[in-house]
Amino acid sequence: MPLTPEPTPEPARQGLGIHSRQNSSNHSRQASAEGKSPKEHVVDVKNREEGRHADFANIDVRTVFGDGMGHKAQVYGERIKGANRGGGGDDDDDAGAGIGGATTTTTKEWDTKAPEQRITIFALRMAIIEKAASRIGTLSFLWATVVILGGFATTVNQLDFRVVTIIILAESSRIFSRSHELELLQMSVLSRESLGHRFLHHAKSSLRLTLFGRCKRRLKTCLASTDAAGHAPPSHSPTSARHRPSKKKPPSLSSPSGEARVRNAPSTSKRISRLLYAVQIVFAVATVGLALWRLYENDYFYNPNDNLPRPPNINVSMTVFYVLSIAEAMLFLLERAFWELRMRYGKILDRVNDEVGLGPENLESVRQFFIDVYSACLKGSVFDGLEMDLVSFAIQWLREEDYKQQLGGARLLKSIVSHSGKEEETENKKELRSLNYFAADCLRRLGTAPGVIERLVEMLSWNGKDEEALLVEVAGIVRRLVAYNRNASRIVAIPGAVDGIISLLLHEYPRSNGRDHEQMAEVYLELRVEALRILKYLCFDHNNRITIGETRGVLSILIVFCVAPKEPSFSEGVNSKLGKCHLKTYKKSLQILALLASAPNSSGGLLRRRIADVVSGLKNLRDIIQFDKEPKLQKMSVEIVYHLALDEGVRITIGSTGGVISSLFNLFSRYKDLEHNELPSERQQASLMAGKALSRILLQNEKNTLKTITLVSENRMPFLEVMMHFLWEPLEDLLNCAATRDIATCSAQILRTVFEFVEASVQEKLARGCVPLVMLSIDMRQNGRSSLYESYLGLITKVLDRLDKEAYQQAINQINKQEWMDQLYQNLRHTPTTNKYPSIRRYTIELLHVIAERDVPHISFYNVIQAKKTVNSTNICDELHRTADSISEVENFCLFSGLIGYTRHHEEMEELVARVIKIMDMTYRNRSPAA
């Protein structure tokens, strides 16, 4: 009996095959080269894998791409968190797309056998018994024909001669029926449209087309010749390439007679197989009975007149033959008993089907796998079947031309890979971990096997009338494959792959009524959802986003899918399966648009402009923002607007689209009416994202700003009062939630923009309301250097500059000047990056400019500056000169996309620093400490 191989760090699914031994030898050579024992090498590989997995989980995408507003895109965050569970995604059906728990499997779990090894070992035992019986039968056949009939044909008893002949014929019939029984079994398990019946069906169709088609063409030609001039004969024939049946498409079953014949084909094969099985049993039992009877009689010599000498070896020869016949028949009956015990009572196929996690629809595929393994063990070496497994079997079926085999292979593969990363509650935890490992191994093999990905992508482009079931299964497999970045890159590199995936979005289900229509609609919607999931995973790589976004028609299709649902119908049908499919379509379309809109660098700007150029795009997003039944859809739509607002031209388009800014403000203002928790709800996240989108839309845009300040919330609160209220939120929040700080950050950024465009009276009034809170927050600096601190620092420069002399003096007298100057000195030493407070030095220098311009002797900062110069030997001008020497282009932009800056500040950083140095030098040069 073959043994299970030793566990390796990355074993193959073929636990008893060649692939596993190759992996074991490769890792052994690697361990020996490093001077480690095999066990130490296994643990070392495991630790390295866990370390890489932990490093990836800790990556912050903002360190690579950056974001000027300190915003981390939700889709990136979901992707990073999803890496731990294997796929990334916000839905339950996306949680297991990747390798999942296979990356953290302990060394003991590698010992788990593949469930189909029960089948291969059972087939091996059956093949050993069958081959032993066949060899003994062959020996008895040769013994009878050569020794008995050849040497003792004239002296053997007439009764024994007949018995020997019957036994030889029974053995020959059993061997013949046994070989054809496997073929009939395969035919009964295969599709209703087996290759033979398909041939007969198409032959009959071709004959019908040939005979009747010729007559029809002759008749049309005759009628056309007698018709009036100007009527041309038909230019195509019924047997043209356009109308010829395709090999890939499933055959039509429209003919009643053909349908009945096809349906009866498998049952007929099964009945013939059972008949042959019964004949074998009867012949085996008859052989045992006859042989035992003749051995008991022990009278083999034929001597009617008692005048012939008895041959010396006739008894031995006949005894040997009967014993061999009994042994061969008993082995066959033992094999049949073992078969019945394991197949009928043990239900080994059902058990393996359940262990692998396959559904009842895949039971016939498992049965066919067993028959193929058994046939391989019988036709070649008994160990040939041990190298077979369900994955290679399904891949082989996937490459066939028969539709049913393609569908069976696709279902089998999808059932296996669908267990990857699932966190189901099961009693047997070891079984769940093994399923995760087998699913991950299957995905690795599909990604590395030559031609498999190309075959799957080719199938996605099929548009046959009755191929929706196959397309759904293939799309599910591809969706699991693209969770691996390597596979995603390979799929995108295949010519026409993206077009094939997008073609799945264009399938239109027939418009009819009844239950069949609902079932067909569910199939088409499921196919559409699978295609959207594939595109979503491909878009996680920003290089793929450009390829997908530039594909003709994809942006229009996604925006069409984002049409806002009708409230009554959507609310009633959301609990049905069809309604859930519609909801998934909305979610996936919005997620893909958000990923495309968040593409970094200059190519991302091109995609954002293309999305905004679709005339119904912003209108659909506005309608979804106004749809309050689904806050998750609202959040996704606002996130798309947030990314689109990176471009200045798109901000103008957004402001010109009616209702977008007012909808965002209403959504933003609702945050104060929501219940505050440590973890923000979907509605709170949508409100927060609306505030971030507003801050971008208003940035350096006077028209949008003046339009916004006139808005009134649903509670009849003016816009500026709502912003002021949100500024107080961090001080009033006892839970110290991050969402509350983000809300205050957005409000501070919005108010800084408002100060640039409103009238002087409004500026002064607003500055008087903001100054105590902002000064207190900066003085406290509760959270150290943060986005909130940066936004308050940017707001205080505008606030102090707009205050009158009395209010300015009162505000300055309430702060600790020494602590303020310490903060400003630290801020000047800050090195900004695209994602780590890029404007904090600029706002600090602007604040120094305001202080230098408005400083008077009785509130002078001069004493503080002179004290720092005495203690630290540091002059403020020298510090500003060092700042000028370390200026980077990052500080000249307000927003960033990757490494590309958007929306430049009105004044270059170099000019600002030079102007502040000049003012500082002129203000404090001749001032004495006594002043």
pLDDT digits (tens, 9 = 90+) for 401-438: 888 888 888 888 888 888 654 444 344 444 445 557 77
pLDDT of residue 58: 39
> 241 is written with which tokens?
């390439």
Q: How does DSSP classify residue 246?
A: P
Lowest mean pLDDT, pick from 271-275, 309-313, 729-733, 888-892: 309-313
pLDDT at 689: 94
**pLDDT band per the 50, 70, 90 thresholds, residue 10:** very low
- The pLDDT of 697-704, averaged and rounded, is 94
104 torsion bin: left (phi>0), alpha (psi -120 to 50), beta (else): alpha
CB 539 within 8 Å of CB 545: yes
Round to whole Å and give the CA distance between 320 and 140: 8
List the one residue out of 264, 269, 205, 192 whose CA is nearest residue 239.
Answer: 205
Q: Rounded mean pLDDT of 274-285?
A: 83
Mean pLDDT of 126-146: 84
Domains in the chain: boundaries: 18-111, 117-199+261-388, 681-815, 817-830+840-924
pLDDT (0 to 100) of residue 566: 65
DSSP state of 147: I
Asked if pLDDT for residue 3 goes beyond 70, the answer is no
> Who has greater pLDDT, 565 or 190?
565
What pLDDT, on a 0 to 100 scale, did the predictor assign at position 208?
A: 46
Position 878 scores a pLDDT of 82
pLDDT band at residue 772 using 50, 70 and 90 as cut-offs: confident
Average pLDDT, the chain: 74
Q: Is 896 helix (H, G, I), strand (E, B) or coil?
A: strand
| Burial letters 699-727, b for 16+ CB under 10 A, else e | bbbeebbeebbebebeeebebbebbbbbb
Q: Are strands 893-897 and 900-904 parallel, antiparallel or unpaired?
A: antiparallel
| 534-572 core/surface letters (b: 16 or more CB in 10 A; e: else) | bbbbbbbbbebbbbbbeeeebbebbbebbebbeeeebee
Based on its alpha-carbon atoms, the radius of gyration of the chain, rounded to whole angstroms, reads 40
Residue 38, pLDDT > 50, answer: no
Task: Between 136 and 231, name the one with better pLDDT.
Answer: 136
pLDDT-derived band at 640 (thresholds 50, 70, 90) equals: very high
Q: pLDDT tens, 466-496?
A: 788 888 899 999 999 998 888 888 898 898 8
Phi/psi for 538 (5° steps) reads -65, -35
* Token pair listed for 856: 């008077």
Asked if 376 and 388 count as a contact pair (C-beta separation under 8 A), the reply is yes
The alpha carbon of residue 738 and the mean position of all alpha carbons in its chain are separated, in whole angstroms, by 30
Alpha helix ranges (H) inside 482-514: 485-493, 497-503
3-state secondary structure of 718: strand
pLDDT at 675 over 50: yes
**What confidence category does residue 237 fall into, taking pLDDT thresholds of 50, 70 and 90?**
very low
Mean pLDDT value of segment 23-27:
42
Which of residues 102 and 846 earns the better pLDDT score? 846
Phi then psi dihedrals of residue 897, to 5 deg: -135, 100
pLDDT at residue 620 in the model? 92
**Full-model pTM:** 0.73
Confidence category of residue 230, pLDDT binned at 50, 70, 90: very low
Share of the chain above pLDDT 70, in %: 67
483 burial (CB, 10 Å; 0-12 / 13-18 / 19+) is buried
Residue 433's pLDDT is: 53
Residue 386 pLDDT greater than 60, yes or no: yes
Residue pair 482/534 in contact (Cβ under 8 Å)? The answer is yes
pLDDT at 101 over 80: no
User: What pLDDT sits at residue 409?
Assistant: 87
* CA–CA distance, 33 with 118 (Å, rounded to integer): 36
The β-bridge partners of 501 are none
Q: What is the mean pLDDT of residues 681-705?
A: 92
State the Cα–Cα distance between residues 691 and 671, nearest whole angstrom: 10
- The pLDDT, as a whole number, for residue 594 is 94
Question: Taking residues 272-283, what's their average pLDDT?
Answer: 81
